[in-house]
Amino acid sequence: RVANGYHQLLMKRRMEESELDEVPGVSAVRKRALLREFGSVENVAKASVEALAKVEGVGEKIARAIGDYFGR
């Protein structure tokens, strides 16, 4: 049980601090939505602009900003 609590704390910290914080226009709410949808920052980075834009609250403009940030 203690290990599970510690693991949950680590996961929460990872979600609170990520490379997505550096992307212009990506708020904490958008970041949570993206991580819920794709599971990790790595998967967000690999996702197409079209897939990113389908996430609630993201839209085409932010999706393009994410794509540009990750070099696509």
Q: What is the pLDDT of residue 72?
A: 72
What is the pLDDT confidence band of residue 1, given thresholds at 50, 70 and 90?
Answer: low
Q: How buried is 55 (Cβ within 10 angstroms: 0-12 exposed, 13-18 middle, 19+ buried)?
A: buried
Q: How confident is the model over 36-58, as pLDDT tens digits?
A: 999 999 999 999 999 999 999 99
Domain that holds residue 46: 2-69
Question: Which one, of 61, 55, 62, lies nearest residue 39 by Cα?
Answer: 55
Q: Residue 51 in contact with residue 43, Cβ under 8 Å?
A: no
> For the domain that residue 59 is a member of, what is the CATH number?
1.10.150.20
**Helix 2-16 vs helix 28-38: crossing angle, to nearest 10:** 120
Q: Which of 33, 27, 14, 16 is nearest to 47 (CA)?
A: 33
- Domain count of the fold of the chain: 1
